[in-house]
Amino acid sequence: MIGNPIGHTKSPMIHGSFAEATGQAIDYRAIEGSLKCFADEVHAFRKAGGRGMNVTAPFKLQAYALATERLERAELTGATNALKFDGDRIVADNFDGVGLTNDIQRNLGFPLKGARMLVIGAGGAVRGALLPFLAQQPTLVVLANRTETKAIDLAKQFAGQGHVQGCGYDELAGERFDIVINGTSASLKGELPPLPAETLRGAKLAYELAYGKGLTPFLRLAQHAGVPKLADGVGMLVEQAAEAFLWWRGVRPDTRGVIDRMTIPLV
């Protein structure tokens, strides 16, 4: 795993648990990448025998640019969170979206097919997560963002993949959704996006992409609005790791135990 800063990463622990459970011998460590020499560091890691690498902020776009081959999910999002090294080949994929989709559908039990979904935010996190939702055929995905034009542009970019619309927060008044996902970085700063509170009324699931922050302002708003199920991104984190592990090692680890161990009660 390469990122900067990287001190907070849970990925070595997650991959270590997967390796132990599946009997795979791996050595997975955190590397604090240099902002200036990212490409050199990746090449040095490959030359030292590295077979694969997770990539996190701020390197997801640089890693994408460095790849010699981009699989469809990386291509369509323009970013990668996982590289595989095979001789001179550097193959890029992006498992963030499939991780989120698997968590919502398999772990939390909410089907996306036919759902009305609201996703707030239009930055890198949302861009990476969007595509696999659309493949599940929700009735509608609304992207709402503080800077409205970014949501509209992102919706246009994904228009060929499903029914997706972009707007500002004001336009949400009176709308109802089954699933509301907070993909903004507001929670990392303890802030609340200016979401009309009634937008959450009637929703069945409120999902915070960030993890380990407990009951964030967004989740608290959802709780007050009576949303029956609240979740943070811990399941997404573990599910995307499982997809990468499968890609690198050919074995899909079970995720339940790791998610349970990492879950912080949302109270």
> Residue 174: which of 204, 140, 198 has the closest Cα?
198
For ligand ATR (CB under 6 A), the number of binding residues is: 14
Does 233 contact ligand ATR by CB under 6 A?
A: no
Which residues neighbour 5 within 8 Å (Cβ) at sequence distance 6 or greater? Answer: 32
CB of 151 to ligand ATR, least distance (A): 8
In this structure, the number of other CB atoms found within 10 A of the CB of residue 95 comes to 26
Q: Assign 225 to helix, strand or coil.
A: coil
When binding is defined by CB under 6 A, the residue of 11, 56, 77, 145 that contacts ligand ATR is 145
The Cα 65–Cα 143 span in angstroms is: 26
Of the two residues 186 and 238, which places its CB atom closer to ligand ATR in the complex? 186
Of the two residues 122 and 221, which places its CB atom closer to ligand ATR in the complex? 122
Does 107 contact ligand ATR by CB under 6 A?
A: no
Does 146 contact ligand ATR by CB under 6 A?
A: yes
> Residue 182: which of 220, 135, 134, 226 has the closest Cα?
220
Residues known to be catalytic: 60
When binding is defined by CB under 6 A, the residue of 147, 159, 198, 257 that contacts ligand ATR is 147
DSSP 55: B
Q: Which two structure tokens, joined as six digits, stand for 108?
A: 């939390």
- Interhelix angle 124-135/148-157, rounded to 10 degrees, is 40
- Among 66-74, 87-95, 142-150, 152-160, which window interacts with ligand ATR (CB under 6 A)? 142-150
The Cα 237–Cα 233 span in angstroms is: 6
The Cα 61–Cα 78 span in angstroms is: 7
- Among 146-154, 156-164, 213-221, 230-238, which window interacts with ligand ATR (CB under 6 A)? 146-154
When binding is defined by CB under 6 A, the residue of 9, 184, 199, 216 that contacts ligand ATR is 184
Of the two residues 17 and 187, which places its CB atom closer to ligand ATR in the complex? 187
When binding is defined by CB under 6 A, the residue of 42, 79, 122, 142 that contacts ligand ATR is 122
Binding site for ligand ATR (CB under 6 A): 121-125, 145-147, 150, 184-186, 191, 193
